[in-house]
Structure 1
């Protein structure tokens, strides 16, 4: 099964000095290590996290998502938190104290998800469990064992779908569903399989079309025959049952209200999502005000970029011009993909000036799969891949492509995530983690860093970057507006329409994502602000000793961490005179 990038975990790398300090506290450190080692091994088995840094062998099974399994997870993480709380952090070594802080926050997030029964809502407008399974068929299958394991998974689809359907039915009964309006049309992604006339036409058969030459021809034929039979007898009927449930029960009765605070125990639920995604103790009102302030600031910069372009009209007219002039849009999917590839290679030529330590991992640039593209974001990046959405090209402006590419590829997600995975000095639970506030904050910081790197050669490109900054600042306003202040969908759409250059399709898709995924939209801009604040502090304290490569290496060396950990790391960076973690590469 493909990698599960956990959104709850984060970590900070141990230096050699901290390793020496650890030996001075063997009892507390050993107790702590025993707890997290045991829990991490258990969690990997529960969630089927693969063992390879870039997506290892295909798992032989689908996870157990039944109510019984969820209850066991609740009990296990409750026990783990109790064990952690019996440890006195002051008795840990310095490095282990950092580990303890981030690990405890991780367990709290996992436990909160169980307490609020998040598993009864295994979908939103952007992602859904059946889509994740279909995504398996786009993984690279390398061995005969991979194919056999995938066939085992396909045989388990009826069980897996039945358990998820039971979970959704329980959520439906207590008013815990994504808002109905955000789910419109999502049943089409199920229907694409459920209504298939030939198993070979489904996405699940794709891995069997071109198989590795190392697998004997006779075995290939046998695997293909088994795949056709399993898809026909197990996968398609399971999708048919799910489609019937969605159309007859779930979609008609999903909740009408939009706000997370309108859900069961809503205020506490929304605050738990703020903590999970933003990793800071801020109220919705505080976050809303930060958003309003930043929107006003960025708007001033956007007006200057508009002026620099030579446009003589007002701001609304400029947005209309950008949304309608054909010069700003690719005419073919290949043109969009090639432009993205050129931008990524342009950054490669600048990387050594801005970063001392580079990841070994490379990434591909590929289009978003057609079955999910209508509801997918403009792009998404991660280990080994930068996905570019080539659906509806008039909604994919080229003036924003540079900011998108820096965010999703390098030095953003396809750069930062592999760096964390490759850092063998960290415990596995830290290398294999992803927390939105850090990961999305870093990627958004990279968009703005592109201005310093000279990646925006025209006023239109720079306006695209500023529009993306505005988009993320506006999310603070929209997310809290919808989930705390009772905003309507139309009000949220109007706010993005008035303040950003996003296309109408992007506005609709993105607002539905924020509505159905409470709190996630807050992570981007709050994370960027934290990194910018840390950099400004280091620049002021170090003066001419400040080295941008060393600073970036220090931030990236952490892996994915809660935002307060960045502050602590940069305080140490300053105390050490601006020395980076990789001195030979400075």
Structure 2
């Protein structure tokens, strides 16, 4: 009989023919990092997933590591196929992390140290048009089959891509960093081609795709059940989760008021305004901000390593960089498969902000770095018992974002925040993620707003109400709030991954604490959980239960 390891080996080898990340894992890098975004490319991936899923269900597993691999692989293949069959994968346009964005982010990750590196950059600039044209063909074919996002999502991506080639001048500034000589002329010509290709894609979105799209933003319960199941890797009671979101909003708001009182202010808004205006909390945008990021990460790494976690030496370092994009997002990119490039925290600081009030960003830094995303990847990528597919290619939003959001609270538990100001910043992130639950579910499921909720008198969600809600409840500026709402509408269910994912992580920990009683070891629990590797949160809880059973009465 075929073992689950053999099935995963075959799957990885097949993926490596067209997937740049898989090719890196097997040591046969592809010349271009865009992947196959054509309709045929998506169809071939779905066919491979179906064949592999049948084999994985029937494969044998004999060890804890093999059971974890089987649970993870079956869960991901089922989820990916459900998304593809529902038409979600091939219609994807949203303000963040779609194939359109990932093609641009390729240039963030390409090395630029040598002239040979710059030649590779030039090759990618020249090839960008082919990648965007291929994805346009996929979107067109999906639309012909009735799979098309709402007009709001199409125009939001068009606006973003337009900004890359106009106000941001992303490709021009990329080439301007070249020292001159060598392949500079080729780079300049490639940047012109990239700008033209992006403009052509924007025209396709505005002139061809948008007129075909509808104006209803919510996707409805049927598709939402598919997407939320995939993002979490868990089956949840949607109505119960919506009620939980409201409960979390009220509880976190109460906690924020308590912290504001500690800071000597009558309410949360006054405390936040005072902190924003305090020069002691403001860091100049640019090298000074980058230095602040790196120093804080180094200090947190030293505080955690050996005490609360054993951070693998090979992945201990994380690099903090200011991104040339100006989207306002802080995000993490993991090390490459060979661990030659360190994990990195990127901050795309909003344009026009000469100083940043850092008190409100410490929780996000812990989320993206340690003990959040970077720690999880540091363990995952160096755990030898994991299959290479698990270490490098298995991604579950609820597992990864749930862990990172759980890590924000864990950082408080471990005493990493420096006083009530940074704790208030963390709580801003917590209430924001709770707001995500009720807004995301409310918009997509057309859920009613409970009366007497303490936040709004409205009875139904609209995108405009959601923007106001994020601004008043979570303290987001209106531009960021609009971006967030557009993101929720484009990724139905993904917003659950943070707060609902963290809830499932916390439930798994409470289950282990209940079973172990006084013998519970927090450090061991976290190490065991992370060493299982990425997987859906339902199989994670089941695997942890098997790994940490209740003590026998005679023990």
Deviations 1:397-453 (A, max 9, x none): 422222111111112112211321122221111111221111111111111112122
Distance in 2 (CA, whole Å) between partners of 1:58 and 1:118 is 27
Paired residue total: 526
Distance in 2 (CA, whole Å) between partners of 1:172 and 1:202 is 35
Matched ranges for 1:372-387 at <5 A = 373-374=326-327, 376-380=328-332, 382-383=334-335, 384-387=343-346
Q: Does 1:248 align with 2:210?
A: no
Matched ranges for 1:67-78 at <5 A = 67-78=39-50
Matched ranges for 1:22-421 at <5 A = 27=1, 30-52=2-24, 59-60=31-32, 62-85=34-57, 87=58, 94-138=64-108, 139-141=110-112, 149-173=120-144, 176-182=147-153, 184=155, 186-191=157-162, 201=172, 203=174, 205=175, 209-210=178-179, 221=182, 223-232=183-192, 234-261=193-220, 267-311=221-265, 313-315=266-268, 317-318=270-271, 328-351=281-304, 352-361=306-315, 362-370=317-325, 373-374=326-327, 376-380=328-332, 382-383=334-335, 384-392=343-351, 393=353, 397-421=357-381
TM-align CA RMSD: 3.4
Is the Cα contact below 8 Å between 2:151 and 2:214 reproduced in 1? yes
| Equivalent in 418, 422, 432 of residue 457 of structure 1 | 418
- For 1:426, the equivalent position in structure 2 comes to 386
Change (3 A) 1:179 1:286: same
Distance in 2 (CA, whole Å) between partners of 1:200 and 1:70 is 28
Deviations 1:46-71 (A, max 9, x none): 32225557999673364222223323
SS at match of 2:18: helix
Is the Cα contact below 8 Å between 1:329 and 1:397 reproduced in 2? yes
SS at match of 2:94: coil
Change (3 A) 1:306 1:42: same
Change (3 A) 1:65 1:327: same
SS at match of 1:276: helix
Distance in 1 (CA, whole Å) between partners of 2:515 and 2:214 is 52
* Structure 2 gap segments, 5+ residues each: 336-342, 448-460
- For 2:487, the equivalent position in structure 1 comes to 513
Change (3 A) 1:101 1:566: closer
Change (3 A) 1:50 1:59: farther
Deviations 1:237-273 (A, max 9, x none): 4233223223323345543111122xxxxx3322111
Distance in 2 (CA, whole Å) between partners of 1:310 and 1:199 is 44
| 60-69 vs 276-285, greater mean Cα deviation | 60-69
Is the Cα contact below 8 Å between 1:199 and 1:228 reproduced in 2? no
Is the Cα contact below 8 Å between 1:260 and 1:483 reproduced in 2? yes
Deviations 1:468-506 (A, max 9, x none): 111112211111111111621122223323432333333
- For 2:438, the equivalent position in structure 1 comes to 477
SS at match of 2:361: helix
Q: TM-score, normalised by structure 1?
A: 0.80
Change (3 A) 1:56 1:473: farther
Deviation (angstroms), 1:154? 3.9
Is the Cα contact below 8 Å between 2:42 and 2:90 reproduced in 1? no
SS at match of 1:467: helix
Deviations 1:512-561 (A, max 9, x none): 21111111111111221122223233334434433322222112212212
| Equivalent in 406, 409, 432 of residue 445 of structure 1 | 406
